[in-house]
């Protein structure tokens, strides 16, 4: 299946099912088991998630090797050179080098780690209650406590700035990973946008995208060029009969496809949403039955992973 062919899937491919990106609190305990994170590595991918499971995949999505660590829910992965770092509940950090097995390293916290990013040659982790960790794969991490109401559920960096979001509608950014500025989105846009909680951020050099949901559960997507002013991107889409509908499924991950200036959103119930530069040209496309929680690309392949350990490899 190719990315372009996804535009022409028919209604007969529509299926049903359920849940999201790694969002904090008790909702995690109720979501189906499966993969929560994926990262490109070597000629394939690494995925991690429930039941302490870390799987190495071929480029086509075939499992090559599996490891399990009892009692751990993995939420995040990051890869650098020949090193992979996995993170999850109770401050768990595991590292693998040169295709070797994963071993624990000391994170210095017992809080759940929801997200990892590589920035300025440092690994930055976002945890519960506004705590940031910054360090290296050698296990030397420093804590930075931010005055946040929420849990830091997603981090992403472009070449110059690292951004993060919380499940209480806060957006943070830093140019060095140490000093952080905080934007209370809900307070700033009170009366203009309905209060939101965020699930994912993606920073590319030209734009920052933030996904989440409103208080009523409706999904939202916001764009900004510098992180100060945010614009709501409408998520209405046209169906096969060219009728307009509103997106209702949760948005769990964001991927940017540079050649077509196209954003792809991983959604619940096996849907992928395509957000092109044309605001009237959104498409909602079914690619499976399970929730799509995470995406990563390697060469010409986009790999989507999610609930029930589902894997979908799409040729770009």
CATH number of the domain within which 4 lies: 2.40.128
Q: pLDDT per position in the chain (316 positions), as tens?
A: 555 454 433 333 322 222 233 334 434 456 789 999 999 999 999 999 999 999 999 999 999 999 999 999 999 999 988 999 999 999 999 999 998 999 999 999 999 999 999 999 999 999 999 999 999 888 789 999 999 999 999 999 999 999 999 999 999 999 999 999 999 999 999 999 999 999 999 999 989 999 999 999 999 999 999 999 999 999 988 766 555 567 789 999 999 999 999 999 999 999 999 999 998 889 999 999 999 999 999 999 999 999 999 999 998 8
Residue 247 lies in a domain: yes
Residue 280 lies in a domain: yes
Residue 190 lies in a domain: no
Residue 113 lies in a domain: no
Residues 6+ apart with CB under 8 A from 269: 15, 16, 17, 18, 249, 286, 289, 291
Distance in angstroms (rounded) separating the CA atoms of residues 251 and 302: 17
Distance in angstroms (rounded) separating the CA atoms of residues 30 and 140: 33
Residue 136 lies in a domain: no
Residue 155 lies in a domain: no
* pLDDT value for 261: 94
Q: Can you give the residue range of the structural domain that contains 304?
A: 1-25+234-316
Residue 199 lies in a domain: no
Residue 291 lies in a domain: yes
* pLDDT value for 248: 86
* pLDDT value for 137: 83
Q: Count up the domains in the chain and report the number.
A: 1
């Amino acid at each position: 299946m190719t990315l372009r062919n996804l535009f022409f899937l028919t209604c007969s491919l529509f299926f049903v099912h359920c849940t999201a990106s790694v969002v904090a609190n008790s909702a995690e305990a109720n979501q189906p088991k499966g993969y929560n994170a994926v990262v490109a590595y070597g000629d394939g991918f690494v995925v991690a998630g429930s039941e302490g499971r870390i799987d190495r995949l071929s480029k086509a999505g075939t499992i090559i090797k599996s490891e399990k660590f009892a009692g751990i829910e993995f939420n995040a992965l990051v890869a650098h050179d020949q090193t992979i770092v996995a993170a999850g509940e109770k401050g768990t950090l595991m590292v693998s080098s040169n295709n070797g097995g994963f071993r624990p390293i000391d994170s210095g916290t017992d809080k759940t780690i929801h997200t990892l990013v590589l920035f300025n040659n440092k690994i930055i982790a976002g945890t519960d209650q506004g705590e940031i960790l910054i360090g290296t794969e050698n296990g030397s991490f420093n804590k930075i406590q931010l005055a946040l109401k929420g849990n830091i559920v997603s981090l992403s960096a472009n070449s110059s700035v690292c951004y993060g979001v919380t499940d209480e509608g806060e957006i943070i950014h830093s140019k060095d990973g140490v000093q952080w500025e905080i934007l209370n989105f809900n307070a700033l846009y009170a009366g203009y946008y309905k209060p939101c909680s965020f699930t994912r951020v993606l920073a590319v050099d030209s734009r920052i995208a933030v996904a989440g949901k409103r208080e009523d559960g409706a999904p939202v997507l916001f764009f900004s060029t510098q992180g100060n002013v945010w614009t709501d991107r409408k998520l209405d889409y046209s169906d096969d009969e060219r009728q307009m509908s509103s997106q209702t499924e949760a948005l769990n991950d964001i991927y940017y496809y540079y050649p077509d200036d196209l954003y792809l959103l991983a959604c619940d119930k096996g849907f992928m949403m395509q957000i092109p530069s044309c605001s009237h040209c959104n498409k909602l496309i079914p690619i499976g039955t399970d929730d799509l929680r995470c995406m990563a690309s390697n060469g010409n392949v986009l790999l989507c992973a999610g609930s029930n350990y589902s894997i979908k490899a799409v040729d770009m």
